[in-house]
């Protein structure tokens, strides 16, 4: 930022020039690529706590869609299932967000995952 400001300041001046140059350099893609790495701002790595759980003991479920294109079978939404222990992700396409539809899909998933358990 300083070099760019000094170059401009040698030829031009206008009010709030420093703030404008700072904002420009901060948003400039080429400036970001050649900027030196700031080692003093980095935080030391921390150990990650490993969950002591078996797969599918702790899962997260979310629904995504609405802005997804409707597919040939009429599916427009995804039910996303994430296993927090193994980070395994499973996506189930659904046509609508009715509770009955989602329960049917989750039931069929739980039957399939129960077959995977030892």
Domain 59-116 CATH (choose: 3.30.420.10, 2.30.40.10, 1.10.260.40, 3.30.230.10): 3.30.420.10
Would you state the pLDDT for residue 51?
62
Q: Where are the domains of the chain?
A: 2-41, 59-116
pLDDT-based confidence at 114, cuts 50/70/90? low
Q: What is the dihedral of CA 51, 56, 60, 62, to 10 degrees?
A: 150
Quote the Cα angle for 20-25-29, to 5°.
140
Residue 104 reports pLDDT greater than 50: yes
* pLDDT tens for each residue of 12-61: 888 888 898 888 888 877 777 776 766 676 777 777 666 666 777 778 88
Residues 75-98 pLDDT 10s = 889 999 888 878 889 999 998 888
Determine the pLDDT at residue 115: 47
Quick check: 90 and 81 in contact, CB under 8 A? yes
């Amino acid at each position: 930022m300083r070099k760019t400001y000094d170059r401009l300041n040698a030829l031009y001046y206008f009010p709030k020039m420093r703030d404008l140059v700072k904002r420009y350099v901060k948003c400039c893609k080429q400036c970001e690529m050649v900027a030196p790495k700031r080692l003093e701002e980095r935080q030391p790595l921390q150990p990650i706590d490993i969950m002591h759980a078996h797969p599918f003991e702790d899962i997260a479920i979310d629904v995504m869609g609405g802005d997804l294109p409707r597919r040939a079978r009429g599916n427009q939404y995804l039910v996303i299932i994430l296993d927090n222990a193994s980070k395994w992700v499973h996506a189930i396409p659904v046509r609508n967000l009715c509770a009955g539809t989602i329960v049917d899909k989750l039931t069929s998933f739980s039957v399939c995952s129960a077959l995977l358990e030892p």
